[in-house]
Structure 1
Amino acid sequence: MTDTPAGPTAPDPWAAIRPYQDSEVADVLARLASDRELLDALTRYRLPRLSRSLPWLARGLASHAIRRQTRDVTGVRDFQLRVAYYMERMIRTSTDDFRVEGLEHLPPEGAYLFIGNHRDISLDPAFVNYALHLAGRDTVRIAIGDNLLKKPYVTDLMRLNKSFIVPRALRGKRAMLAAYQTLSDYIRHSIVEDQHSIWMAQREGRAKDGIDRTDTAIIKMLTMARRREDRAAPIGEAIAELRLVPVSISYEYDPCDLQKARELHAIHSQGRYEKSKFEDIQSIVAGITGHKGRVQLRFGRPLGPGFDTPEAVAAEIDRQVIGGYELFPSHYLALEALGDAPELVDLSQVSSADRARFQARLKEVPAELHPWWLAQYANPVRNKAERLADCSLGDA
């Protein structure tokens, strides 16, 4: 899990966006232990009464706890082993089952660019990392949008956990182009030179409506580094060099489904949605602590060089992501409740306990949000059926 590159020290063109290295960990941990915003956030969550009555004491206790918990952390691997401990506890308390498929088909030698569907801000790559950790493999570097890094302590925590920063807040085409070129260079360097795997989402932001589609702009960004070096390089070769592997993650229940339904309803009814100040942080906490039922993670097959356009690459990622997506009883029950595609509803594996659990969750959803809440679970069934129909037409 180490993230310290070998070789002599050289100018670091990615210092502003890359994950922290072992040599930086001690200073970052010391900074976190005295970060007032982080301490206040922790005490509001863990010591709510004390944080209101004696905030200075609550902050002191939180700072002491951070120093005690990290006293033996000397590098990135040590920090991630602490994360693995909490990940194991989270899986025990908030999931009914976690299964991994397809990793056995990927040789452990070399690095991969894992591109997956995106449902949870922090857990999607965390489950990938945990699966790799259980298999005795190194963890990934994680692409994270700078829109989530509004607080210095959040940036520090994410970069300690091997996250690198994807620019989203820049203005102007030149600035964005330069930033994407740097990002593309870093991703290629990580895969080809460092031999260090990467995880990134197939598009910006979570798929709040349950529809997984790859943004071709991401594919274009990924090929920029190779094609700057060799303008004649085919897109397929640039992608094959990165050893791109589609990844599907499926949650039986999404702890943030109600919040996503509110957002979709607001956009539909008012034309816009304004996030609250700490909404992304609250979504991260809700995703980690909320009940998820069963979780399925499926690794696909690496893409070869036989692609001529970004659209063709995106279509293959979509094919593997949707094909590898696991449909749980919650998905079929949601489609049944909507009542608009009865021919796709398969209740053969739905038990009375599944139905009772689903109905209990639905009762907690305000009536005006039902269509949006249900669509999140029903759309993957439609997507899979549509993909199967497209494959059948292609074979005809």
Structure 2
Amino acid sequence: MQKFDAIRPFYDTEINKALHNIANHPMMKALMNFSFPDVADDIWKEQLRKTHSIRDFQCNFIYQSVQKVLEKSSEGMTTSGFENLKPNTAYLFVSNHRDILLDTTLLNTALFEHGLVMTASAIGDNLVKKSFLKTLAKLNRNFLVQRGLTPREMLQSSKLLSEYIGQLLLHENRSVWIAQREGRTKDGNDETNPGVLKMVGMGSDEKNLMDY
């Protein structure tokens, strides 16, 4: 739907072209050399250029990047509760926020390992000003939350965002992740901003908002 073009991630039909465009970028080389230290550049570039979907990019490349992060910087990752979620079912995840990219990457790693629907994830457009970062975000199924707007523009943007979240959850069977407040929590005080919940409800056309 064209109304979401300004904020949506890539469609699968756009993935291959985007990967061709950034295959030779120095930051892509750094990411791939970190993820696949024993693989020659021409090999991973060839595989990138054969990739035609977000899922394939996430599962074959980004998943390996996460495994390297966990291997090098921690004792691994433990999870609980995912066994209570239903396969092939979309969920809205509203969580605290510690790292710009790792929050959702780790969540999607857990969802992938449990055979569950991975998320489309909100990211502030202020974090992806550089062309490469914006492309990488859209390759990872991030959608943009527009920042720095006037109150009137913010209202319109929030409604569009809400409608897009509803479109993903209710019509595309795609799970969604969004932070419980703008920015990362730096004091450990994890409280959900009521404005986030109000924004989610703006896309509803139901008479009872709480039912939505």
Tell me the TM-score normalized by structure 2.
0.88
Q: CA offsets, 1:176-234, max 9 Å, x none?
A: 111111100000111111111001110011101111111111111000010xx24xx33
1:236 alignment counterpart: 210
Structure 2 residue matching 1:204: 3-state secondary structure = coil
| Matched letter for residue 173 of structure 2 | Q
Matches within 5 A, 1:233-272: 233-238=207-212
Which sections of structure 2, spanning at least 5 residues, go unmatched? 34-39
Work out whether 1:68 is the aligned partner of 2:30: no
1:80 alignment counterpart: 58
Structure 2 residue matching 1:107: 3-state secondary structure = coil
Change (3 A) 1:145 1:97: same
Q: CA deviation at 1:66?
A: 6.4
Structure 1 residue matching 2:162: 3-state secondary structure = helix
Which of 12, 15, 19 is residue 29 of structure 1 equivalent to?
19
Matches within 5 A, 1:176-325: 176-226=154-204, 229-230=205-206, 233-238=207-212
Change (3 A) 1:45 1:225: closer
Aligned partners of 1:91, 1:84: CA distance in 2, in Å? 11
2:124 alignment counterpart: 145
Which of 4, 8, 18 is residue 18 of structure 1 equivalent to?
8
1:132 alignment counterpart: 111
Aligned length, in residue pairs: 205
Aligned partners of 2:55, 2:119: CA distance in 1, in Å? 12
Structure 2 residue matching 1:235: 3-state secondary structure = coil
Which of 96, 103, 107 is residue 117 of structure 1 equivalent to?
96
Q: CA deviation at 1:28?
A: 0.7
Aligned partners of 1:72, 1:113: CA distance in 2, in Å? 31
Work out whether 1:90 is the aligned partner of 2:64: no
| Matched letter for residue 21 of structure 1 | Y
Structure 2 residue matching 1:90: 3-state secondary structure = helix
Contact 2:16 2:50 in 1 (8 A): no
| Matched letter for residue 69 of structure 2 | M
RMSD: 2.3
Contact 1:33 1:66 in 2 (8 A): no
Change (3 A) 1:177 1:119: same
Matches within 5 A, 1:158-173: 158-170=137-149, 172-173=150-151
Structure 1 residue matching 2:90: 3-state secondary structure = coil
Aligned partners of 1:116, 1:167: CA distance in 2, in Å? 19
Bigger helix share: 1
Which sections of structure 1, spanning at least 5 residues, go unmatched? 1-10, 48-60, 239-396
Aligned partners of 1:66, 1:147: CA distance in 2, in Å? 30
Contact 1:146 1:166 in 2 (8 A): yes
1:3 alignment counterpart: none
| Matched letter for residue 214 of structure 1 | T
The structure with higher relative contact order (CA 8 Å, sep 6+) is 2
Q: CA deviation at 1:44?
A: 8.4
| Matched letter for residue 190 of structure 1 | L
Aligned partners of 1:98, 1:44: CA distance in 2, in Å? 24
Aligned partners of 2:163, 2:181: CA distance in 1, in Å? 19
2:79 alignment counterpart: 100
Query: Rg: which structure is higher?
Result: 1
Q: CA offsets, 1:21-67, max 9 Å, x none?
A: 11001111122135xxx42x5678999xxxxxxxxxxxxx97x6763
Q: CA deviation at 1:108?
A: 2.1
Change (3 A) 1:93 1:69: farther
Contact 1:33 1:67 in 2 (8 A): yes
